[in-house]
C-alpha cells in the first residue's frame, strides 16, 4: 500500500507565482527564520527557571514573544504542507536549509554584522546545493 | 552538553523524522481522492503530534544552550529526513539531488562553525 502511495504521480499545482510549491517553501523558510528568532527571545526569558517544566519547554509558553513565534511557525506549517503535496519530502526538506542563507544575510544587512570568509563560503555552498536540488527536480520532471 | 540534553536532542530528531514522514504520507494520501484518501486526516494528526513533541523538546533545549551550538544539528537533520524518506517512502534522489543535499549540509556546517 505504501509503495502505491509513494508511486502515485505528484499532482500539478495551481497556476500563478504564489501557488508555486518552491515559492511556498521560500515563504516557509522566511517564516521559520522569524519564528526561530522570536522563540529564542521568548526562551531566553525562562533561562533561569530550572524546573522540569522548563526543560520540556512548557514554561516558555508564558512569554508573548513565544506566542508570536508559534504564530509564525503555524503559518510556515501551512506553506510546508502545501509544498509537500507537490514535492518529494527529502528534496523539499533539504531546500529548507535556505534559512541558513537568510539569517546571516539578514544579520549583515539589518544588524551590520560582519560575514567572515568561512561563513561566506558556507552560504555559497548552500546556494550551489539548492541549485543542484532545483535542477534535480527539473530533470526528474523532464523524464515524466 | 549534559547527557540529558543529548538524550532530548536524539528524541527530538527522531520525532522530527517520524513527524515529517507522517505529514508527507498524509498529503500524498489526500491527493488520491475520495475512497482511497480516507484516513489522511488521522495520519496528519499523528504527524502534527510528533512535530509537537519535536517542537517542545527543541524549545526546552534551546533555553539551555546557545542557538549557535544547535545550528550544526539543524544542518545535518535533512540527511536524516532524506534517509527516512528513502527507507519509508521509497523516494529516490538522482545524483543531482544527492549532490544538493550534501552541499547544503556542508554549507550549513560551515555557516554555523564560523
Domain count, chain B: 1
Phi, psi of A116 (to 5 degrees): -70, 165
Could you list the residue range(s) of the whole structural domain that residue B60 is in? 3-113
All three cell numbers of B67, joined, read 542557538
Please state the three-class secondary structure of B35-88 as a single string: HHHCCHHHHHHHHHHHHHHHHHHHHHHHCCCCHHHHHHHHHHHHHHHHHHHHHH
- pLDDT higher at B17 or B113: B17
- d(CA A64, CA A48) in angstroms, rounded, equals 17
> Is residue B23 a contact partner of residue A79, using CB atoms and an 8 Å limit?
no
Query: By C-alpha distance, which of B114, B41, B27 is closest to A123?
Result: B114
Inform me whether the pLDDT recorded for A140 exceeds 90. no
- Asked if A47's CB is within 8 angstroms of B25's CB, the reply is no
Per-residue pLDDT tens over the stretch A33-82: 888 778 777 777 655 555 665 656 665 666 778 888 889 989 999 999 99
Q: Which residue has 535556505 as its cell numbers?
A: A98
- d(CA B12, CA A135) in angstroms, rounded, equals 31
Quote the pTM value.
Answer: 0.78
Residues of A in contact with B30 (CB under 8 A): 85
Query: By C-alpha distance, which of B69, B50, B65, B64 is closest to B12?
Result: B50
Inform me whether the pLDDT recorded for A19 exceeds 90. no
Report which DSSP code applies to B32: T
Per-residue pLDDT tens over the stretch A86-107: 899 999 999 888 888 877 787 7
Give just the sign of the alpha carbon dihedral A85, A91, A93, A97. Answer: negative
- Asked if A81's CB is within 8 angstroms of B111's CB, the reply is no
> Is residue A91 a contact partner of residue A133, using CB atoms and an 8 Å limit?
yes
Question: Which residues 51-110 of B are in CB contact (within 8 Å) with A?
Answer: 55-60, 62-64, 67, 71, 74-75, 78, 81-82, 85-86, 88-91, 93-94, 96-97, 99-110
CA distance B14 to chain A (A): 15
Tell me which chain A residue has its CA closest to the CA of residue B102: A129
Amino acid at each position: 500500500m505504501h509503495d502505491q502511495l509513494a508511486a502515485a504521480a505528484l499532482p500539478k499545482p495551481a497556476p500563478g507565482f504564489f501557488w508555486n510549491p518552491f515559492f511556498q517553501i521560500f515563504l516557509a523558510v522566511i517564516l521559520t527564520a522569524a519564528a526561530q528568532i522570536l522563540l529564542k527571545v521568548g526562551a531566553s526569558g525562562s533561562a533561569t527557571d530550572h524546573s522540569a517544566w522548563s526543560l520540556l519547554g512548557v514554561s516558555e509558553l508564558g512569554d508573548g514573544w513565544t506566542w508570536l513565534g508559534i504564530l509564525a511557525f503555524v503559518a510556515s506549517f501551512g506553506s510546508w504542507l502545501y509544498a509537500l503535496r507537490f514535492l518529494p519530502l527529502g528534496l523539499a526538506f533539504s531546500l529548507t536549509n535556505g534559512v541558513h542563507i537568510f539569517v546571516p544575510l539578514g544579520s549583515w544587512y539589518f544588524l551590520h554584522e560582519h560575514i567572515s570568509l568561512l561563513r561566506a563560503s558556507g552560504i555559497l555552498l548552500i546556494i550551489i546545493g539548492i541549485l543542484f536540488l532545483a535542477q534535480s527536480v527539473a530533470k526528474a520532471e523532464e523524464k515524466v | 552538553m549534559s547527557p540529558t540534553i543529548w538524550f532530548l536532542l536524539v528524541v527530538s530528531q527522531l520525532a522530527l523524522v517520524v513527524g515529517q514522514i507522517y505529514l508527507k504520507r498524509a498529503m500524498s494520501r489526500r491527493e488520491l481522492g475520495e475512497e482511497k484518501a480516507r484516513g489522511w486526516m488521522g495520519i496528519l494528526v499523528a504527524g502534527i503530534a510528533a512535530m509537537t513533541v519535536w517542537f517542545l523538546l527543541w524549545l526546552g533545549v534551546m533555553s539551555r544552550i546557545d542557538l549557535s551550538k544547535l545550528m550544526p544539528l539543524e544542518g545535518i537533520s535533512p540527511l536524516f529526513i532524506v534517509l527516512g524518506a528513502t527507507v519509508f517512502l521509497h523516494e529516490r534522489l538522482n545524483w543531482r539531488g544527492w549532490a544538493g543535499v550534501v552541499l547544503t549540509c556542508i554549507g550549513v556546517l560551515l555557516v554555523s562553525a564560523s
